[in-house]
Chain A
């Protein structure tokens, strides 16, 4: 077979300890939850988690001890409140502060094959103090000071999509987040998909030459949404928050890893 279709555990095998792993989607929308479950099972540790906004599956990864560093501009559960395990473990994690601009332009710099992208951002805030690696530059034309956001090159990107073919030509419906950019910038890209099709229809979001593995994962974003197939399973997210507030993260995690009650509705 010349296609790239593999099992979830084979795809997780592409992730090495210490990797920067970029997860697609936004907070509670089209997150690669099935992949996160398999990643926790694999016991790969010391990961740097990169996300535009980190939510449900990111909190489980942090709680399970898979993550050492976090790079995101928001880590929370939106209307459901703070992400409980991120909040609890914040002191032990290495947090690399990001914003929408630093993430978007960092990826753009990587995609342009250059070391940085300048922007009018972050000045007058404390972000530059806690990110001493981020420098400012002087515009050669106007003399204005800009912040030079360093290129971001993830080791692995994992994007959950609505439809993909066997080579990783995939489409996205709405909620593009930074998924197309992550998939192009990463050294290896894994697609998990609701449906495997002969041929996708519409504007494509990923290029097969830049995809390494494709995994069929129906309901692979549950309990986060996969528009238009299923909506955010609010009840499940609330159950997670409630379990954590009772101090029962480990019990919840065990259920989550069983994949029985959780993720199979």
Chain B
């Protein structure tokens, strides 16, 4: 799916999201990878292959810290992560001491986000009679109490995701100073959000548009958001990926197109998943 206007077909929206994630990684960062987040993994690797060669990864699959990388894979992710681990952790250590002290940067994918950056990964609808029970929040309710490096991404920006009021709060947004103190929360809230339409922050406790993606109108972003957005004073177009970034993504980092799964749903997603798994079985 190419983007319209001048940049037609030079990059896809997945590749733009990956590039935005990549640009948030600085060279000395420790980046945490959750599960089922190929856009994020691709973004981290892209950063390592371009501006952040010293990047280190804390990975859930395999439970280790590593500075090596391999092309995105479903069946082989664990063995790739465990091939040359720098450190193997238990979750007693990770949740009990390590995450608080090493404070990795992590991108989370929320099901719902409210104006001040609280988010939900637990349930849609009433908690006791849910419309849809979601997998759960992993460590999000923990990390958002202390981490200064919480980042968000939403592959499909819609009014169902960006809502005035969450069905359930499982990740903490930008709180008033007094409330933070009362709740012993150290985290300043999410620092950054990228969607398929633009990039945002929560400066001043309200979701704010920083940049609109090429070919996307600001009015459309507002229309797809269930509450009024603040606008950054230097609102601009999101810089597109370079030709090199696109080439690295397609040929080196994710030749199977696993990143595309995060934008698909239903039958199309299942068909793509099956195609990827069949190609993996053939040795790709």
Contact = CB atoms under 8 A, between A and B. Distances in A.
Interface of A: 26-27, 29, 52-53, 72-76, 78-83, 86-87, 90-91, 95, 97-101, 103-105, 107-108, 119-127, 130, 144-146, 173-181, 225, 227-228, 231-235, 238, 241-242, 245
Contacts, number: 188
A83 B68 CA distance: 31
A99 B139 contact: yes
Given A124-B145, A227-B78, 15 more contacts: A53-B35, A76-B36, A90-B130, A91-B130, A95-B133, A97-B122, A101-B95, A101-B141, A104-B91, A120-B100, A123-B145, A144-B184, A227-B79, A232-B78, A241-B270
Contact of A100 (B74, B142, B281): B142
8 contacts: A73-B138, A74-B136, A100-B139, A104-B91, A108-B96, A122-B145, A123-B145, A177-B63
Interface string B158-183: 00000000001111100100010011
A78 B78 contact: no
B60 interface: yes
A210 to B, nearest CB: 16
Given A74-B136, A130-B127, A227-B79, A177 B91 contact: yes
B135 interface: yes
Interface string B81-98: 010010011111011100
B142 A119 contact: yes
A174 B139 contact: no
A231 B35 contact: no
A73 B137 contact: yes
A81 to B, nearest CB: 8
B278 to A, nearest CB: 8
B261 A79 contact: yes
Given A108-B92, A108-B96, A177-B90, A124 B82 contact: no
B170 to A, nearest CB: 5
Contacts of B273: 79-80, 238
Given A90-B133, A227-B78, A232-B78, A104 B95 contact: yes
